Amino acid sequence: MRFYFFLQDLINILRIKVYKTMEALGVIWEVAKSLFRCVNAQAVYVYKLQENLESLNKLWDDLQNKEKDVLTKIDKDESTGVMKRTNEGIGWLQEFQKLQEVSF
């Protein structure tokens, strides 16, 4: 009879250890998944770096063309006396100038 209780106690101890091990593995698994998500997001940026740079260069070219169009329209409208520069327009042009200085 003692042997039976000994085996029951041993089984219970093993169950607890297995449960704790599984619990620890669950935590480790969650940490690993979080790390993978973080690394995966960064890897996508690096993997698509060339594509992202090309897209950014195109957008930059579009923005520079927009600036030229805005300046042309401003010059035309000011020379004919139809309109004058607004604070919003002046602010936009100043911000774009800062971007140009930083990018080159």
pLDDT in tens, 31-87: 888 888 888 777 777 778 888 889 999 999 999 999 999 889 888 888 888 888 889
Q: Can you spell out the DSSP letters for 46-95?
A: HHTHHHHHHHHHHHHHHHHHHHHHHHHHHHHHHHHTS----HHHHHHHHH
Question: For residues 77 and 10, which has the higher predicted lDDT (pLDDT)?
Answer: 77
Predicted pLDDT of residue 104: 57
**pTM score, two decimals?**
0.53
Q: What are the domain boundaries of the chain?
A: 1-47, 50-104
- Write the pLDDT tens digit of every residue in 78-96: 888 888 888 988 898 899 8
Say yes or no to pLDDT of 103 above 60: yes
- Give the residue from 95, 50, 90, 52 showing the smallest Cα distance to 74: 90
